[in-house]
Structure 1
C-alpha cells in the first residue's frame, strides 16, 4: 500500500510540477517551439535568503506554475555554495557564461526575461508581492 501512495505522490509531483530547464540551448529550443519568452533566474539556492523567498512566494505557487506552463519557458542558473549541492563542471561553466552575459554585476536573485532567441527584454529582482503582481511585472517586458 505504501508503494502505491509513493507512486501516486511521485506521479502528481511530476505531472503538475514546474519544468525548470538548466540547459540554455534546450530552453531556447523549447521557447522557439512554443513561441514563448524565457524567464532566466539567477539563484543561490542554498545561501541566498531572497532567492529562497522568491522560490517559496512566487515560483512555488499554483498561480505562477499554471500561468508559466502556458506562457513561459523557465531556465534556472544556480550558484550553490554548499559542497553537497555542487553542480557538474559543464553546468557550472554554462551558468558562469550566462552570468557574464546577463548578470555581470552578480545580483542574486536576478530574474531576466529573454525573447525566444536569448535577447534580453528586461530584468528584476525579488519583490515582496503576490504571484499575480509579479507576473504583471514580468509581462511588462
Structure 2
C-alpha cells in the first residue's frame, strides 16, 4: 500500500505545478493569495458545506461582528450554496425580533443579490450605521422568498 503522506506530497506537488503554470501563462496577473484562499475554501467546502477558511483579516472581521463595535443585525452566519446562511440569531437583536431563524438563507441585501459575493463582502453590506435600515430577502425551506426590513443596532456579545 502506498504511504498516505507520499500521496499528500504528490497532490501538493501537482497543486504547486498548476499554480506555477497559471502564474506563468494565465492571461491576467494571478493573485496567488486569493487563489490559495479559494483553493483552501474549495477543499473545506467539499468536505463540509458549513466549513470555510478565514484568513486573519476575515477572522478579525467576523470577531467584530459580535463585539459591539458596529451597527448590525445580530446573526451568526456562514456561506452555503452562494447564499448567506443564518446559523443563529442572537437573542434580543433586530434579527431575532424580526423572526429570522436558523437555516434561513439571505439571498439579497437591499435588492442586490448575494450570489458571487464572499461571506466577508456580504457581512460588510449587512453592517452599517446604528439606526439605519436594511432590506434582506429571506429564503426559508417550504416557503416563498420574502423581504424583511431591519434596523441596525449596536450588537453586544452576551
The verdict on a shared fold, with TM-score over 0.5 as the criterion, is: no
1 or 2, which has the higher helix percentage? 1
Please say which structure displays the higher CA radius of gyration: 2
- Smaller-chain TM-score bracket: under 0.3
- TM-score after normalising by structure 1: 0.26
- TM-score after normalising by structure 2: 0.24
1 or 2, which has the higher strand percentage? 2
